[in-house]
Amino acid sequence: MAATIKKKGYLSVDELKSHGCMPDESRFQQGPVAVLECIQEIPCNPCVDACHYGAIYIGECITDLPQLDTEKCIGCGACIAHCSGLAIFVVDKTHSETTAAVSFPHEYLPLPEKGLIVQGVNRKGEVVCDGKVIRINNAKANDHTPIITLEIPKELADEVRGMKRLPNEPDKHEEPHICQCINGNKEADSDSVIVCRCEEVTAGEIKKAIEQGAETLTGIKRRTRAGMGLCQGRTCSRIVSQMLAQAKNKPVSEIEPDRSRPPVKPVEFGIYGGVDNE
């Protein structure tokens, strides 16, 4: 596994190229193409099923890294929202003579409006340029993972992988937060909202676990597997805590957090033994 992702939590372009994750420049000059920035061998393959053109494949072992057939990929972006790790992007270096278009998942509210000038960020979360929002794809098939497309300077096409989160503006209409949906928003089928994405546990399953007597996050975990996935509850635990607090009519601060059992992310055995594979 690459050194930067292990030690700093983000990838570099050189590491992606060394793992064969970046299409070559000749393919980039043919039009939009997906970039699979996944170098961790974990049991995950939703991107394979998401591609209607058979451009993404993994092989017989589900922990193998996904591979892209750049000749089959048309850059449609259907795979972006289906990646649990939010590690797939579509890059179009032919957008114009001076600009490129980068599409990425953006699970923050409020969503930007088309035409808005926002700050583009790199893999470290650093602001590197201004970009123009040219498309927002928040289709139902995306399952609450909007896809934003930014127009950016062409020379930064390999660097920009997101946008800086916009500040909340209470006076503007915003889509309901997931907790608002779970808490009885009449415009949403609240029970069908997926709370734990790793294990695909819905709000309805969590409510049922509470009705059956679950008094703690651990109790809910044992009944539903919420929090037992790859992220170990780092994503869903706060939402589950809010649901439990509401059901028990008590403040969230009184909900005992789930017990963490390290490691909370995949760690190679060689690290424990002090072996440096670099």
Per-residue pLDDT of 134-175, as tens digits, reads 999 999 888 888 999 999 999 999 999 999 999 876 544 444
Report pLDDT digits (tens) over 48-76. 989 999 999 988 888 888 899 999 999 99
Q: What is the pLDDT of residue 12?
A: 77
Q: What is the pLDDT of residue 276?
A: 62
2 and 15 Cβ atoms separated by less than 8 Å: yes
* Mean pLDDT, rounded, for 5-13: 72
105 and 81 Cβ atoms separated by less than 8 Å: yes
The model carries a pTM of: 0.62
Residue 277 to residue 271: CA distance in whole angstroms: 9
CATH of span 178-254? 1.10.10.1100
Q: Which residues belong to CATH 1.10.10.1100 in the chain? A: 178-254
Which residues have CB under 8 Å from 103's CB, separation 6+? Answer: 32, 77, 80, 89, 90, 91, 135, 137, 147, 148, 149, 150
